Structure formats: structure tokens, C-alpha cells
């Protein structure tokens, strides 16, 4: 969506420290003066603080602390992502909200963010706790056209998009710990959850992403604190959740179109470059059995290729197993 509201917001952001005369702003946003007023009003009613001066013009003083839909929509959605952005205050899990919207027929790309979740969930029945107003937590309705490989590839493209966005926007050296963790220096910063209900909704998937953005160490439960991190912990300063969220949706759309084009090579090479697991000694637990070995390959379709310690190569797929990276 290349809306005048967004162009106005961009212009105000780029010139934070100086006043922008109304005429100059209208030219930059490419709207008549009367429409500029309406866009300014739209932004202020969404929580942006904009100072107006009869001679000097306008300047941006502050942005809403809450997420607002307009700030989360990329300029140009790709592959229908996002088709619509909804923001909830507190929900049990955005996964459930997205499933309910999908069940009533809402389209591919419908995206639900929440400021807080009371029953956020992760892979393998784990819980996901994201601090209120400090995380990015959202779920996306995805309807891939009859694609049996969607399960493996969607987790991969979501993890690649998340790690890539964190690197590009926040300069955080994010990596992917197979299959769905986003880690920085070995600590967990985020995760991806993909759900499918083949019996009732065979053509629909719900993709959830959670990222710790502005948490400080004391925000994590004591048992998690040594293993968890956030963008703010890594960079030392608060990050704009809105900017990260918008860029992540934009990147997800681009990777989704790569998935639609079936460019598996591109997906695999991006994934491999971002992997923290490739080459590592690992212990894998699968249905109560433990395997140790070294990861020698990664493939979105085949899974993890492991040279087992007792000898022999085996590939593991992610559905029901957990992985621990061992020291070399
Ligand atoms: C994991 O690390 O196992 C996946 C974590 C996924 C968390 C996100 S937060 C938004 C969405 N809603 C949920 O309940 N879970 C996902």
C-alpha cells in the first residue's frame, strides 16, 4: 500500500529534527494541501504526535508506543502479504485469532498482531512468553495454492525473513537454529511456529512469529534469562517495533514469492548462510531416542543431514524432534 498516510509518515520521519512547511510536505507526499490535512489528522488520531506551527509547518515529535496498523503495512506488499493488518491488545494467542479469521473466509495474508498474549505457544507444546508492548508477536493466514511441501518451506522462509530483517534493520547478527529458532550468539531472540489442520482446513496454514525486541534481562523469567536475548539487549538501545514489523512483513512477502516461484536453491542458500546449526555437533531427540553426530547438510525438503557419531548418514525432519547444539 503506497498510501499518502505512509508517504507523509516517511517524510516526517526523515526530517525529524526540522520543520517541514505545509507546501513542501504536500509536494513530497504528492497530495493537495486539503488532503495533507486529512492525512495529518489520520496520523495524529493513530497516536503520532505532530506539532503544527502556522508559519513553520509540521514536525514529528513522537510515535505511538502501541503498534498501529498503518505503521506496520509495507509500502508495497508482495505476494499478498500482508493483505490486511489487525492489531489486538491482549489475546490468548494470535494463532487462534488467525485461525478464527481463516475459518470465516478471511484471505491469504491476513495478519494479526497482539501487544500481549496470555497463552502464547511455541513448537512442541511449549509456551511463548512475550512482554507486553515489548515484543513483536503476530500470526499470518497463508493459503499456498495446493502445495504439499508448504510445511517445510514456510518455516524456512519465515526464519530466513526474520533473521535477515534483524540483520538489515537492527544490525543484530541473527542466525537460525534449526528448525525454527532465531538466535543471536547462541541465545534465543525469536521463533517461528507453523500450524496446519489437514482434516478441517487442508489449504490453509497459520504462520506465527515472535521476536523479543525491547526486553531487558529482568523481563525474562529467571530460568529463561541466561538463554534469552532481545534486540535491545544486543544493541544497547530501544528499537522501533513498528519499523521492524513493517520490514519483516515486506521481507516475508518477498520470500513468499520466492517460495511460489519454487526457487528452492535460493531459499536453501539463504538458509544455509544464516544457519547456526550447519557444521555443529548436535544431539537430537526423536520420539524418546537420542542421536549424536555432526550436521553436514541442510535442505528445506529433506531436513537436517547428520553424520552420526557411531557412523552412517541420516536425515531428520523437524516435526517431532528437538535439537541441542553440543560443544566441539
Ligand atoms: C517457538 O519458538 O517454538 C515458536 C514461537 C512462536 C511464537 C509466536 S508469538 C506469535 C504467535 N502466537 C503464538 O501463540 N505463537 C506465535
Q: Is the peptide bond before 137 cis (omega within 30 degrees of 0)?
A: no
Q: 281-326: same fold as 3-62? A: no
95 lines ligand 1 (CB under 6 A): yes
pLDDT at 145: 82
Q: Tell me: the pLDDT tens digits for 195-214?
A: 999 899 989 999 999 999 99
CA of 207 to the centre of ligand 1 (A): 9
Q: Taken in order 158, 160, 166, 172, is the CA torsion positive or negative?
A: positive
Does ligand 1 have an atom closer than 6 angstroms to the CB of 277?
Answer: no
| pLDDT attached to residue 76 | 84
Find out whether 305 and 315 touch, Cβ atoms under 8 Å. Answer: yes
- In the chain, what are the domain boundaries? 3-62, 69-274, 281-326
What is residue 147's predicted lDDT score, i.e. its pLDDT? 64
**Which of 60, 31, 55, 57 is CA-nearest to residue 43?**
60
Domain 281-326 carries which CATH code? 2.30.30
The pLDDT value recorded for residue 1 is 39
Q: State the DSSP code for 220.
A: S
Give dist(CA 65, CA 77) in Å, integer: 24
3-class DSSP state of 104 = coil
Pairing status of strand 84-91 against strand 110-117: parallel
Atom of ligand 1 nearest to the CA of 93: 14
126 three-class SS: coil
pLDDT score for 79 = 94
Kindly indicate whether the domain formed by 3-62 is annotated with CATH number 1.10.260.40: no
Q: Is the CB of 138 under 6 A from ligand 1?
A: yes
pLDDT of residue 52: 94
Residue 254's CB: how many other CB atoms inside 10 A?
A: 16
Residue ranges for the chain with pLDDT beneath 50: 1
> How many other C-beta atoms lie within 10 A of the C-beta of residue 119?
12
pLDDT number for residue 133: 86
CATH hierarchy code of domain 69-274: 3.30.930.10
Q: Alpha helices, DSSP H only, in the chain? A: 4-14, 22-29, 33-45, 69-72, 94-103, 150-170, 231-235, 241-260, 264-274
pLDDT tens string 74-102: 988 899 999 999 999 999 999 999 999 99
Residue linked to cell 523481563: 219
Ligand 1: distance of its center to the CA of 14 in Å? 33
In testing the pocket of ligand 1, which one of 191, 211, 244, 319 has its CB within 8 Å of the most ligand atoms?
Answer: 191
Q: Report the distance separating Cα 217 and Cα 226, nearest Å.
A: 8
Instruction: Check if the beta carbon of residue 285 is closer than 8 Å to that of residue 326.
Output: no
Amino acid at each position: 500500500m503506497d498510501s499518502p498516510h505512509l508517504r507523509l509518515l516517511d517524510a516526517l520521519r526523515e526530517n525529524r529534527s526540522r520543520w517541514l512547511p505545509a507546501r513542501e510536505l504536500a509536494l513530497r507526499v504528492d497530495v493537495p494541501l486539503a488532503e495533507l490535512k486529512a492525512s495529518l489528522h489520520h496520523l495524529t488520531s493513530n497516536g503520532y504526535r505532530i506539532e503544527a506551527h502556522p508559519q513553520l509547518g509540521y514536525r514529528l515529535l513522537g510515535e505511538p508506543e502501541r503498534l498501529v496498523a498503518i505503521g506496520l503495512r509495507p509500502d508495497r506488499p508482495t505476494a499478498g502479504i500482508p493483505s490486511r493488518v489487525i492489531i489486538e491488545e491482549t489475546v490468548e494467542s494470535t494463532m487462534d485469532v488467525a485461525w478464527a479469521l481463516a475459518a470465516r473466509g478471511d484471505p491469504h495474508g491476513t495478519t494479526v498482531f497482539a501487544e500481549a498474549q496470555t497463552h502464547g505457544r511455541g513448537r512442541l507444546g511449549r509456551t511463548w512468553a512475550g512482554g507486553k508492548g515489548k515484543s513483536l508477536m503476530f500470526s499470518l493466514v497463508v493459503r499456498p495454492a495446493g502445495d504439499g511441501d508448504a510445511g517445510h518451506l514456510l518455516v524456512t522462509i519465515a526464519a530466513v525473513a526474520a533473521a535477515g530483517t534483524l540483520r538489515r534493520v537492527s544490525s543484530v547478527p541473527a542466525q537460525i537454529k534449526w528448525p525454527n529458532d532465531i538466535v543471536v550468539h547462541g541465545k534465543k531472540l525469536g521463533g517461528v511456529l507453523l500450524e496446519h489442520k489437514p482434516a478441517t482446513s487442508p489449504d490453509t496454514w497459520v504462520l506465527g512469529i515472535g521476536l523479543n525486541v525491547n526486553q531487558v534481562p529482568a523481563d525474562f523469567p529467571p530460568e529463561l534469562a541466561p538463554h534469552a536475548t532481545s534486540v535491545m539487549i544486543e544493541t544497547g538501545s530501544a528499537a522501533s517495533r513498528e519499523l521492524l514489523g513493517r520490514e519483516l512483513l515486506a521481507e516475508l512477502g518477498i520470500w513468499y514469492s520466492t517460495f511460489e516461484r519454487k526457487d528452492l536453491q535460493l531459499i536453501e542458500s539463504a538458509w544455509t548462510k544464516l544457519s547456526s546449526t550447519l557444521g555443529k555437533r548436535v544431539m537430537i531427540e526423536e520420539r524418546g531416542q537420542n542421536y549424536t553426530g555432526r550436521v553436514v547438510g541442510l535442505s528445506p525438503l529433506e531436513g537436517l543431514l547428520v553424520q552420526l557419531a557411531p557412523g552412517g548418514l541420516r536425515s531428520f525432519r523437524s516435526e517431532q524432534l528437538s535439537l541441542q547444539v553440543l560443544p566441539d
